[in-house]
Amino acid sequence: MHIPSKLKRPILLTIQAAVSILLLYLLFRNVDLAQAQQILQTTNLPILGVSVVFFILSSFAIGVALQSALKATDAAPSFGITMLANFGGQLLSDVTPAKSGYFATPVLLNQLKAVPIEKGLMSVMAVGAGNFFVKAIISTTALVYFIYRMPADVMNPTITNALIAGITILVIGGVGLAVLVWTNYFSGVLEKLCRLPLVGRVIKKLQDIRTLFAQDKAALRKSIATIVVSVLGSVLFSGISLYLLAQAIGMTEPAFADLLFMGPLTAVFMYVPVTFAGLGLQEAAYVFLLSGISASPEAILPFAVMFAVLNG
Domain count, the chain: 1
Inside any domain, residue 33: no
Q: Which residues of the chain have pLDDT under 70?
A: 1-21, 23-33, 35-36, 94-101, 152-156, 158-159, 162-163, 166, 174, 176-219, 270-281, 294-297, 311-312
Inside any domain, residue 3: no
Q: Which domain holds residue 187?
A: 45-53+126-311
The full DSSP string for 142-187 is HHHHHHHHS-TTT--HHHHHHHHHHHHHHHHHHHHHHHHHH-SHHH
Given this model, what pLDDT does residue 158 score?
Answer: 66
Inside any domain, residue 182: yes
Given this model, what pLDDT does residue 64 score?
Answer: 94
Q: Is the dihedral of CA 265, 267, 268, 273 positive or negative?
A: positive
HSE at residue 10, side-chain half, CA atoms within 13 A, is 5
Given this model, what pLDDT does residue 189 score?
Answer: 59
Given this model, what pLDDT does residue 1 score?
Answer: 47
- pTM, to two decimals: 0.77
Summarize pLDDT for 151-197 with one digit per residue, the tens. Answer: 766 666 766 776 677 677 777 776 766 666 666 665 565 566 566 55
d(CA 275, CA 98): 10
Inside any domain, residue 16: no
φ, ψ dihedrals at 116, nearest 5°: -50, 135
Spatial CB neighbours of 35, under 8 Å, sequence gap ≥ 6: 298
Inside any domain, residue 266: yes
Contact 301, 28 (CB under 8 A): yes
Report CA dihedral (177, 182, 186, 188) to the nearest 10 degrees.
-170
Inside any domain, residue 228: yes
